Every structure is written in C-alpha cells, then in structure tokens.
Amino acid sequence: MVKKMIHVIIALVSIFCGVFAYLKGDVEAYLWSKNKQAAITQSQIDKNKTTDYTGKPAGKDIVSLKTITMWDKVLNNIDYVTVTPKSIQKTNVYTLAPWEDYYTKRRNGTSWRQKATVKTSPIDYNFGYLPYYIIELPDGHHIFAQMNRSLASEIANGQQVQLPLGQKKGMSQTAKTKLSKYAKDYNVSTKYVFYSLDNTWQKEHAQMIFYLKIAIGVIVFFIIGVVLELIAQRFLNKR
C-alpha cells in the first residue's frame, strides 16, 4: 500500500514539474534574442508607407510615448510609435493570433469548428492566442497592449524595456466586454490597444516554440520521475 502511494505521489509531482516547466520555459526569449535586426527610422517608414514595420526595433527618431495625450494623438493603423513601460499587468483575456487559422482542422484537412476569437483563461498555456497586457506610461496612465511574451516577462521582472515599433489597433466588441473589469480597475480605455508583435516572425517560430516547450516539459517530467523513483527505492529498501 505504501509503495503504491509513493508511486502515485511521484507521478503527480513529476506531472506538476513537467507542466510548470512547459509554462515557464521561456523558449521565445532565447529565439527572440537571436533575432538581430537593424533599427527602423522614421525616414524609412516615410519612404515605404506600404511596408509593415510592426515589431521591428525602433530607431532613435521614433516617437516614444510619454503621456496619455501623446497616445490619444496617435493615428490608428497609420503611425508607428514605441514606449518604455514603467510597469505591466497581464490580464486573463486573449485574442486569437493573426497568423492562426480561424477553424480547427480534421485529420483529412477539412475545416471543422470555428475557434473563439477572444477567450479568457487564468493560465497562459495556448500560444495560438495573444494575451492582453496593461502597461503604465511614464506619466502614470495606462493603456492596453499586446507584445512578445518574453518582453512582457522582462518588464514584469523590473527591467527597462523599449518595446518594438507598434501601432494603435482597434478592439472587437467581445474583447472590450471581457476587458471591461480591467478597464474600470485601471481607468484605461478599451477603444484601442498598442500592438507591437512582428506577425511574420511569430508565425515562423510559433510551432518551434510550442514543440520546444513540450520537449522541455517532457524532459523535466522524466528527470524528476527517475530521480524520485531512485530516492523512493532507497527508502523502501531500508525498510
């Protein structure tokens, strides 16, 4: 009976550690650190207005948001700006990533069921969805933002991070409704969100990030399981 209970406890602990490693393994940060690109200047943007620069490094002449008034003056879907948040707060509201299919697929490749475009979750586990964050501007006001998860983590850990080029984007009514509690608590408008993800890079690396995180979780699961089994065997042999 004792032996059976020990094996059950070991299995549960191993699963917990594996899931924790999956959730906390910041593979995206490592891959993003290898993404070395030249900073984009305002003159480059002005010369190539049809190019999407969202998520690219911001040059020194790019407007950096300091106040809520500056944010209000930004033209949605047109102007590129950057910001160095004072703080960040993650919400439990997520939107379907732009590079994801809107329908789940059957094994034969046909569409099956439409995915939720907005959902809530207390745990950030599905990397096909992007979390909404609340960032604090230098003047103390707050705005909603969506960004690379690794950058959000750095800001949450107290680092000074200048976000990549971003644009003011509108929100769906569903997102506004689900974010209303946060909007009230932080006195922030749900009309727009600061979006600074490089969709091309994210799409190219989405599957790699997912599978590497799975691999980390599985490896941790087996390592913890083996170590605990060895310890348990020594304990049982002494009895």
The domain spans of the chain are 36-203
What pLDDT, on the 0 to 100 scale, is given for residue 164? 95
pLDDT exceeds 70 at position 82: yes
pLDDT exceeds 80 at position 212: yes
pLDDT exceeds 90 at position 208: no
The continuous run of DSSP H or E covering 219 comes out as: helix 199-238
Instruction: Give whole-number Cα distances, 120 to 101, 102, 116, 129, 174, in Å.
Output: 19, 17, 10, 10, 11
Reduced to 3 states (helix: H, G, I; strand: E, B; else coil), residue 212 is helix
Partner residues linked to 61 by β-bridges: none
What pLDDT, on the 0 to 100 scale, is given for residue 33? 76
- Per DSSP, 41 falls in state P
Order of strands across the sheet with 129-136? Answer: 118-120, 87-96, 129-136, 142-146, 192-195, 167-170
What pLDDT, on the 0 to 100 scale, is given for residue 239? 61
Instruction: Please enumerate in sequence order all residues whose Cβ is within 8 A of that of 109, keeping only pairs 6 or more positions apart, or say none.
Output: none
More confident residue, 138 or 14: 138
What pLDDT, on the 0 to 100 scale, is given for residue 140? 95
- The pLDDT mean for the chain works out to 88
How far apart are the C-alpha atoms of 46 and 48, rounded to whole Å?
A: 6
Inter-axis angle of helices 199-238 and 2-24, nearest 10: 160
Q: Largest Cα–Cα distance of the chain, in whole Å?
A: 78
pLDDT band at 238 (very low <50, low <70, confident <90, very high): low
Is the CB of residue 85 less than 8 Å from the CB of residue 66? no
What pLDDT, on the 0 to 100 scale, is given for residue 81? 97
Q: Per-residue pLDDT tens for 45-80? A: 999 888 999 999 999 999 999 999 999 999 999 999
